[in-house]
Amino acid sequence: MSDTIKALTETVRGRVITASDPGYDEARAVYNAMHDRKPHAVVRCTDSADVMAVIAAARDSGVDLAVRGGGHSVPGFGTVDDGLVIDLSPMNGVRVDPAKKVARVGGGATLGDVDHATYPFGLAAPGGVVSTTGVAGLTLGGGIGYLTRGVGLTIDSLLSADVVLADGRQVTASDYQNEDLFWALRGGGGNFGVVTSFEFQLHEVGDVVGGPLFYDFDDATAVLECYRSYIDEAPEQLGCFFGWQIAPPLPFIPEDRVGDLFCVLVTCWNGPHQEAERVLRPLRDVAEVQADQVEVSPFPALQSAFDDLVPKGMRNYWKADFATGLTDEAIAAHVEHGERTPNVSSSMHLHPINGAAQRVGADETAFGHRDKSFAPVIVGIWPDPADNEANTKWVRDYYTAIHPHSGSEGGYINFMSGDDDHRAADNYGANHERLCSAKAAYDPDNLFHVNQNIAPANGR
Ligand SMILES: Cc1cc2nc3c(=O)[nH]c(=O)nc-3n(C[C@H](O)[C@H](O)[C@H](O)COP(=O)(O)OP(=O)(O)OC[C@H]3O[C@@H](n4cnc5c(N)ncnc54)[C@H](O)[C@@H]3O)c2cc1C
């Protein structure tokens, strides 16, 4: 391996960081501290040529290859033992064309990088709800966030992608070139190549009216029942997810309620500001709001409002489903297990995936679950390894209780843990077979296998 590393060091422009370098521990660390892996080298790629060089090195030496965008993958797919890591973090540039309302985004950008660049133009690309998340992994899995109901999943705003393939060629995938690859990239995860840049359609999003409404835990059933019908009918400019939240010590939380468990509705209204109160009225009427942080704020401020609750370096274990609806039995299971939410960083988020996201056909992109209304995710996040077992158990028990009421076998690949790999066929749903064919065409030897893997149809 040392010859390979030496050759890489001579070829690439970015840093090649190995165990003998002082920055090795920092370079190999990913968001989820459960994954303490030791690659032969982390290569901080600066351009497509660097990416091509690392792909060739991995292919020729036969070692595992991990590809890292923002490094947020809960299963730790952005790192690997005894292999090579393509770290795209230096490739985080964003170029906005305000006339065309289009952004060109580097493969290592975070949502925060995109927001920072687009907000001054009154524009945004649909992302998620935490700004440190990588654009690449989030987009390739689908992309669920505040703007999903209004403009669709992140992939629904993807116009094209530059991709370095397993054979070392770079191609562009769009509706007009390599259409089968473009289809597969939109929901098929990191299976098909390394995306060095994305081109997104932007949308008019400036200052929004949004933030969390906190309700007493005892009102959770009423809030969930209200949310179920409300989110079906609310104007699509409203993003709004339900969650559990142990109150952190923040200025808008009454001092004597810090540490209490609440249920929350986190809102984001991207319509005329004067209409916000009318739209949110049913949510204020369902139960007494105990803490209220709904205010006019720049979209990037809302999309980074929870960053501090979920810092890098904590231990993570998550589980996820897609749900066709929210039955009374599901609500009862949520309330039973929500009450045991273990700490301030852990939660269950019930993300709506209706509105514009449902107007795209199930076979138009690789994200096949267009008939589902919710993407519930049970998020276990804690600092101390001594709590691994208790927190993992909370997530598993919660999942076991809600899954029978989901009306679906699959879940969102981006909200899963490593032990959910066996769910790939369900997660990709009716599109799985076509994805296996695309995999056989673009990565027949499964070079890109450190991901929620799609086996090439040729069986190699
Ligand atoms: C705190 C937190 C909040 C989140 N919030 C949301 C949310 O609101 N909405 C949502 O949809 N998801 C959310 N997620 C899930 C998130 O979408 C996934 O974790 C996603 O994989 C992160 O992408 P990344 O680039 O940061 O991760 P990485 O770990 O870098 O990569 C994830 C996967 O994508 C592949 N990959 C990364 N970059 C590239 C590339 N350039 N080309 C090809 N393959 C690549 C990797 O190989 C890996 O398989 C959240 C995750 C966390 C930890």
The enclosing domain of 432 has a CATH number of 3.30.465.10
- Say yes or no: 214 and 312 in one domain: yes
Does residue 371 have a pLDDT over 80?
yes
Query: Could you tell me if residue 54 is inside a domain?
Result: yes
Asked if residue 230 is part of any domain, the answer here is yes
119 with 108, same domain?
Answer: yes
**Best of 414, 416, 417, 446 for a ligand 1 pocket test (most atoms within 8 Å of beta carbon):** 414
- Domain co-membership, 187 together with 245: no
Domain boundary among 87, 110, 133: 87
In sequence order, the 6+-apart residues with CB closer than 8 A to the CB of 411 are 319, 320, 321, 322, 375, 420, 423, 426, 427
Percent pLDDT > 70 in the chain is 100
Tokens 């704020």 belong to residue: 297
Cα–ligand 1 centroid distance for 168 (angstroms): 23
Domain membership flag for residue 77: yes
Count other Cβ atoms within 10 Å, centred on residue 384.
10
- Tell me if 402 sits within 8 A of 319, measured CB to CB: no
Question: Both 78 and 99 in a single domain?
Answer: no
Section 122-126 average pLDDT: 98
Q: Name residue 239's beta-bridge partners.
A: 268
| Residue 452 maps to a domain | no
Residue nearest to ligand 1 atom 38, measured at CA: 69
Return the closest-CA partner of residue 387 out of 317, 283, 308: 317
pLDDT of 320 reads 96
pLDDT of 53: 98
Q: Are residues 348 and 381 in the same domain?
A: yes
CATH number for position 49: 3.30.43.10
pLDDT at 96: 98
Q: Give me the pLDDT at residue 458, please.
A: 73
The average pLDDT across 229-247 equals: 97
Rounded to the nearest whole angstrom, what is the distance from the C-alpha of residue 136 to the centroid of ligand 1? 6
**CATH number of the domain that 356 lies in?**
3.40.462.20
Atom of ligand 1 nearest to the CA of 75: 29
Strands 41-44 and 84-87: parallel
| 276 alpha carbon – ligand 1 mean position (Å) | 31
What is the average pLDDT across 81-89? 98
In a domain, 83, yes or no: yes
Span 213-225, average pLDDT: 98
**Looking up tokens 């990588």, which residue turns up?**
134
Tell the residue nearest (CA) to atom 28 of ligand 1: 71
Residues 194 and 247 in one domain: no
Q: How distant, in Å, are the alpha carbons of 65, 138, 139, 144, 233 from that of 107? A: 16, 11, 10, 18, 36
Residues of the domain holding 159: 94-204+428-442
**Are 99 and 200 in the same domain?**
yes
CA of 169 from ligand 1 middle (Å) equals 24
Q: Which of 91, 114, 140, 450 to mutate to test the pocket of ligand 1 (most atoms within 8 A of CB)?
A: 140
**Residue closest by Cα to atom 32 of ligand 1:** 137
Atom from ligand 1 closest to the CA of residue 133: 26
Distance 441 CA to ligand 1 centre (A): 24
Domain final residue pick, 87, 118, 137? 87
> Does residue 294 carry a pLDDT above 90?
yes
CA 142 – ligand 1 centroid, Å: 10
Same domain, 14 and 142: no
- Residues 52, 178 within the same domain: no
Query: Of the candidates 55, 87, 119, which is a domain's last residue?
Result: 87
User: Does the pTM of the predicted model rise above 0.85?
Assistant: yes
Say yes or no to pLDDT of 2 above 90.
Answer: no
pLDDT for residue 459:
62
- One domain for residues 192 and 239: no
* pLDDT of the residue at 1: 83
Give the pLDDT confidence score for residue 97 in this predicted structure: 98
| CA–CA separation, 132 and 314 (whole Å) | 14
Cα–ligand 1 centroid distance for 130 (angstroms): 11
The three-state (H, E, C) secondary structure of the chain, written as one string: CHHHHHHHHHHCCCCEEECCCCCHHHHHCCCCCCCCCCCCEEEECCCHHHHHHHHHHHHHHCCCEEEECCCCCCCCCCCCCCCEEEECCCCCCEEEECCCCEEEEECCCEHHHHHHHHHHHCEECCCCCCCCCEHHHHHHHCCCCCCHHHHCCHHHHEEEEEEECCCCCEEEEECCCCHHHHHHHCCCHHHCCEEEEEEEECEECCEEEEEEEEEEHHHHHHHHHHHHHHHHHCCCCEEEEEEEEECCCCCCCCHHHCCCEEEEEEEEECCCHHHHHHHHHHHHHCCCEEEECCEEEEHHHHHCCCHHHCCCCCEEEEEECCECCCCHHHHHHHHHHHCCCCCCCCEEEEEECCHHHHHCCCCCCCCCCCCCCEEEEEEEEECCHHHHHHHHHHHHHHHHHHHHHCCCCCCCHHHCCHHHHHHHHHHHHHHHHHHHHHHHHHCCCCCCCCCCCCCCCCCC
Asked if residue 458 belongs to a domain, the reply is: no
How high is the mean pLDDT of the chain?
Answer: 97
pLDDT in tens, 310-359: 999 999 999 999 999 999 999 999 999 999 999 999 999 999 999 999 99
Distance 137 CA to ligand 1 centre (A): 3
Q: Name the residue at shortest CA distance from atom 51 of ligand 1.
A: 72
Q: Which residues line ligand 1 (CB under 6 A)?
A: 31, 67-74, 77-78, 88, 107, 128-130, 133-134, 136-138, 140-141, 143-145, 189-190, 194-195, 310, 414, 450-451
The reply to whether 335 and 254 lie within a common domain is yes
Q: What is the pLDDT of residue 460?
A: 52
HSE at residue 303, side-chain half, CA atoms within 13 A, is 28
- Calculate what percentage of the chain has a pLDDT beyond 90: 97
Give pLDDT, residue 175: 98
Mean pLDDT of 277-286: 97
- The torsion angle over the Cα atoms of residues 115, 120, 126 and 131, rounded to 10 degrees, is 20
Residue 80, token pair as written in the block: 């690997």
Average pLDDT of span 107-135: 98
The answer to whether residue 454 sits within a structural domain is no
The model's pLDDT over 164-218, given as tens digits with 9 standing for 90+, comes to 999 999 999 999 999 999 999 999 999 999 999 999 999 999 899 999 999 999 9
Instruction: Choose the residue to mutate in 46, 68, 80 for probing ligand 1, maximizing ligand atoms within 8 Å of C-beta.
Output: 68
Query: Do residue 404 and residue 348 come from a single domain?
Result: yes
In tens, the pLDDT along 376-433 reads 999 999 999 999 999 999 999 999 999 999 998 899 999 999 899 889 899 999 999 9
Q: Which of 67, 172, 378 to mutate to test the pocket of ligand 1 (most atoms within 8 A of CB)?
A: 67
Ligand 1 atom closest to residue 67's alpha carbon, by position in its atom list: 47
Domain count, the chain: 3
Question: What is the Cα–Cα distance from 186 to 414, expressed in whole angstroms?
Answer: 13
* Structural domain contains residue 460: no
